[in-house]
Structure 1
Amino acid sequence: MKMKLPMNLQLFAEQSIYSMVTAPEVAAYWTEKQQTLPPFLGEELFPADKQLGTEIKWLKGETGAPKMLKPSAFGARAIARGRKEFDQVLTTLGFFKESKYIDENLRQQLNMVMASGNQLMIDTILKKIFDDITDLVYGAAVTREVARMQLLMTGKAELSGNGQKYELDYEFNPDHMGNAKVSWSDADTSDPFYDIQKGIEKIQLDTGETPTRAVTNLTTLNKIVANRKLNKTISIFGGGDIILGRQKVVEYFRNELGIDIVLYDKMYENEAGVATKFISDDKFALLPGTALGTTAFATTPEESDLMTSGKSNVSIVDTGVAITTMTEEDPVTVETKVSMLSLPTFENMEKVFILDAVAQP
Structure 2
Amino acid sequence: MPTIFDYVTAPALAAYIANNPSNNIPYLGAALFPPRKKLGLDLSWIKGARGVPVSLQPSAFDAKATLRDRIGFAKIETEMPFFRESMRLGEKDRQELLRLQDNSNDQYVMPLITQIFDDRAQLVEGAQVVPERMIMQLLSSGHIRITSNETRQDYDYNYGFAGSHKETLTGSARWSDSSSTPIQDIQRWKKIINGDTGASLTRAICTEKTWGYLMQHPSIRLDMNPIGGQNVIMTDELLHAYLFNKLKIRVSVYNKIYGLQDGSTHQFFPDDFFTLIPDGNLGSTWYGTTPEEADLMAGATVAEVSIVNTGVAVTTIKEPHPVNVETIVSEIVLPSFETMDTVFIAKVA
- CA distances 1:190-248 after superposition (whole Å, capped 9, x unpaired): 22112222111111111111111001111111111100111101113999962222222
Say whether 1:18 aligns with 2:18. no
Task: Report 1:177-188 matches (<5 A).
Answer: 177-180=166-169, 182-186=173-177, 188=178
TM-score, normalization: structure 1? 0.83
Among candidates 219, 223, 241, match of residue 229 of structure 1? 219
User: Using the alignment, how far apart are the partners of 2:228 and 2:251 within structure 1?
Assistant: 20
Say whether 1:49 aligns with 2:14. no
Shift of 1:257: 1.2
Residue pair 2:205, 2:252 contacting (<8 A) in 1 also: yes
- 1:121 alignment counterpart: 108
Say whether 1:174 aligns with 2:139. no
- 1:101 alignment counterpart: 88
Residue pair 1:196, 1:355 contacting (<8 A) in 2 also: no
Shift of 1:347: 1.0
Shift of 1:290: 1.7
Residue pair 2:288, 2:311 contacting (<8 A) in 1 also: yes
| Structure 1: 5+ residue stretches without partners | 1-13, 63-85
Residue pair 2:41, 2:289 contacting (<8 A) in 1 also: yes
- 2:15 alignment counterpart: 28
- 1:338 alignment counterpart: 329
Residue pair 2:273, 2:347 contacting (<8 A) in 1 also: yes
* RMSD between aligned residues: 2.1
User: Using the alignment, how far apart are the partners of 1:308 and 1:51 within structure 2?
Assistant: 17
Shift of 1:26: 0.1
For the residue of structure 2 that corresponds to 1:341, the secondary structure is: strand
| Structure 2: 5+ residue stretches without partners | 57-78
Among candidates 300, 306, 310, match of residue 319 of structure 1? 310
TM-score, normalization: structure 2? 0.86
Structure 1 residues 196 and 94: CA distance shift in structure 2, 3 A:
same
- CA distances 1:112-166 after superposition (whole Å, capped 9, x unpaired): 1222335333122111100001110110001111111111111122234563554
Say whether 1:273 aligns with 2:260. no
Task: Report 1:1-361 matches (<5 A).
Answer: 15-35=2-22, 38-56=25-43, 57-62=45-50, 87-89=52-54, 92-161=79-148, 163=151, 165-180=154-169, 182-186=173-177, 188-236=178-226, 242-311=232-301, 312-358=303-349
Residue pair 1:180, 1:192 contacting (<8 A) in 2 also: no
Residue pair 1:95, 1:339 contacting (<8 A) in 2 also: yes
Residue pair 2:206, 2:269 contacting (<8 A) in 1 also: yes
Residue pair 1:211, 1:288 contacting (<8 A) in 2 also: yes
The letter for the 1-side match of 2:31 is E
**Identity over aligned residues, as a percent?**
36
Residue pair 2:54, 2:160 contacting (<8 A) in 1 also: no
Bigger CA radius of gyration: 1
Number of residue pairs matched?
321
